[in-house]
């Protein structure tokens, strides 16, 4: 199986998801989205594929979210997408796409929904067991 991950190496969740993909034997195309952000159409596809609205895909922490007034519920999706294109740090991460679908893998365990069943345990970098042989 192949996957595309929109990755931020400075993010522990993103690192855990990438490690989980590798643990599952998935060949991952890693796109560091802060250096190479998805274009507007691709961003819309990822958000829709994950079953989200644009607002759900916005990151607040450590971004210019508040400074730009993006919490205003009157702002439409086009305005929010414009902000995400100008400031890719506003795109929540990691988005992952496999043949089984797209997920915003927050928490990292969400990626399991679009991976084949794993046979061996996986442990996050903080020691938390994400999956065991019984897939719990």
Residues with a known catalytic role: 11
Report the DSSP beta bridge partners of residue 98. Answer: 3, 101
Cα–Cα distance measured from residue 136 to residue 133, given in angstroms and rounded to the nearest whole number:
8
- Give DSSP secondary structure letters for 14-28: HHHHHHHHHHTT-EE
Alpha-carbon separation of residue 39 from 5, 42, 44, 84, 117 (angstroms): 15, 5, 9, 10, 32
Phi, psi dihedral angles at 58 (to 5 degrees): -80, 135
Element (H, E) at 48: helix 40-49
């Amino acid at each position: 199986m192949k996957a595309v991950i929109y990755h931020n190496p400075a993010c522990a969740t993103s690192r855990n998801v990438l490690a989980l993909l590798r643990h599952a034997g998935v060949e991952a195309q890693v796109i560091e989205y802060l250096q190479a952000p998805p274009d507007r159409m691709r961003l819309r596809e990822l958000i829709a594929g994950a079953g989200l609205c644009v607002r759900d895909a916005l990151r607040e922490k450590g971004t210019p979210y508040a400074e730009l007034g993006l919490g205003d519920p009157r702002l439409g999706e086009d305005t929010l997408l414009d902000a995400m294109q100008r400031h890719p740090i506003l795109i929540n991460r990691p988005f992952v796409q496999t043949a089984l679908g797209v997920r915003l893998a927050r928490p990292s365990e969400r990626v399991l929904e679009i991976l084949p069943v794993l046979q061996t345990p996986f442990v996050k970098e903080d020691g938390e067991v994400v999956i065991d042989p019984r897939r719990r």
